[in-house]
Amino acid sequence: MLKWKSSAKPEIILERIQACRTLQSDGIHYSFESWPLDQNAPILETMLDFPEEILRDDWPSIVWKGISGVVGDLTKDSFIQSAKKAISVYGAKPNTRYDLLTTISIRKDTLPKNFSYDGCSVKFYREDFPKKYQSRSNLFNITPELVVEVPYNYARVVVQVVDKTAEKAFEQASRKLDVVRSIWNLLYNHIGSTQIGGKLRPINRIRLGSTHTVHMPAGEPASEQYWYEPNFSPTDPFIVENQDRFQSEVKNWLKFLAKSTYSDRITRALVLSVRALDEPDPNTSFIRLWTALEHLTSSEQADHQAIIRRCSFLSPDPERAALLLNHLRHYRNSSVHNGNQSTYAKRETYLLLNIFRDLVQFHLGTGSLFGSFAETNEMLDLSPNIDVLRKKLILIQRGIKYRTPRLSVTNRFTAP
């Protein structure tokens, strides 16, 4: 449900927007001075908690409809009611099947099998897309300078989803394909080395092609626009040497993901990680991958000490792991706060990737055993020292014994 954030002070902004609107002769509609409206309306977007089904790109439209739909005084309550009406109209749109068409750097003569998961269908094609999509190329005539040709041996992919608009379908389909890509890349990315000089290239081996389009089931474009990768960099397609293993591994990871009590959080971290490792600049890649690590270790605000504590708990050598994580934290801070760039950024990114991979595998393997993400973190906050854990277990067992109801409340402990 749409609502104001607890810390929001929308009255200040709404007063300024109220001052720049004029009631028209029909007594219902308003006109607005464009400059003050453009300066103030965007501020409202970050004061609001939007429903999850509303895309980030739709926030400006909802805010505008909330403003323009108010008759009478523009207050925080009248705005919310007007914006909720706009969202209800948005939600009333019927669900429709859409097809996302893209390419992927898997060699087309070693394709995995088609599969489905979480309401979407993923199909691979060795040659071109089916003929019903032949109008796809016409979309690129609008801005041909943005279209970069992909290698001929990239595979073609169609992801089928059900959603309310082409834009939401693109968001959903690309997100689900990125979850699958994230799993493949976590399993098959090379253990890298330092890159000094030469052209910067992403770490991910399995990447998307340069352009993506959304179509209706009959094949015609569902939108006049297309999406493109601004940092597209061709790569040698990944060769699937063992198709059965390649397929079973992703199915197992997706099965564990579906069983987790906090699958949304793990999904978000997977998407963040694969998009981070699509970046050709290793400094950017590192910072974005650290964000994915934060998402899978901290509930709200980033807690770097908690990140170090929780990740090192999983290591067979927790003391060394804590030192490594502290080293990576310092590198991250110097990049973010001081703008420092390092020729060893790719080395640091690989070190962080190994930690992130272990963390994901832990959460997938145990996510169904814990009641919540917070409960999992309670375990990760324990000491990694087995003797400390045993002593704590004895204390907990004594506490349970003491608090267990008995016929008599005296002499709960027997003196030695």
**Tens digit of each residue's pLDDT (9 = 90 or more) over 170-227:** 999 999 999 999 999 999 987 654 444 557 889 999 999 999 999 999 999 998 889 9
Q: Closest Cα to residue 254, out of 242, 244, 266?
A: 266
pLDDT band at 415 (very low <50, low <70, confident <90, very high): low
Give me the pLDDT at residue 142, please. 80
CA distances 116 to 158, 178, 218, 278, Å, are: 12, 14, 20, 24
* Contact between 155 and 111 (Cβ < 8 Å): yes
Sequential DSSP letters for 7-53:
T--HHHHHHHHHHTEEE-TTSS-EEE-HHHHHHHHHHHHTTEE--TT
pLDDT band at 299 (very low <50, low <70, confident <90, very high): confident
Q: Mean pLDDT, to the nearest integer, of 142-155?
A: 86
Q: How do residues 256-297 score in pLDDT, each as one tens digit?
A: 999 999 999 999 999 999 999 999 999 999 999 999 999 999
- Whether the per-residue pLDDT at 409 is higher than 70: the answer is no
pLDDT band at 339 (very low <50, low <70, confident <90, very high): low
- For the record, the structure tokens of 228 come out as 């493109």
Share of the chain above pLDDT 70, in %: 94
Q: How do residues 227-250 score in pLDDT, each as one tens digit?
A: 988 888 889 999 998 888 888 999
- For the record, the structure tokens of 109 come out as 């003569």
- Whether the per-residue pLDDT at 24 is higher than 70: the answer is yes
- Whether the per-residue pLDDT at 148 is higher than 90: the answer is no
Give φ, ψ of 183 to 5 degrees: -65, -50
Give me the pLDDT at residue 335, please. 81
Give me the pLDDT at residue 46, please. 93
* Contact between 240 and 112 (Cβ < 8 Å): yes
* Contact between 150 and 210 (Cβ < 8 Å): yes
- The domain spans of the chain are 3-91, 94-241, 260-416
* Contact between 83 and 1 (Cβ < 8 Å): no
Q: How do residues 115-140 score in pLDDT, each as one tens digit?
A: 999 999 999 999 899 999 999 999 98
Give me the pLDDT at residue 25, please. 80
Sequential DSSP letters for 328-379:
HHHHHHHHHHH----TTHHHHHHHHHHHHHHHHHHHHHHTTTSSSHHHHHHH
Integer Cα distance of 161 and 150 in angstroms: 24
pLDDT band at 163 (very low <50, low <70, confident <90, very high): very high
Give me the pLDDT at residue 106, please. 94
Left, alpha or beta for 164 (phi > 0: left; psi -120 to 50: alpha)? alpha
Round the average pLDDT of the chain to a whole number and report it. Answer: 89
Q: How do residues 348-406 score in pLDDT, each as one tens digit?
A: 999 999 999 999 999 999 988 899 999 999 999 999 999 999 999 999 999 999 999 87
Q: Who contacts 313 (Cβ-Cβ below 8 Å, separation ≥6)?
A: 380, 381, 382, 384
- For the record, the structure tokens of 74 come out as 């523009």
Q: Which residue type does 199 have?
A: K
Give me the pLDDT at residue 149, please. 87
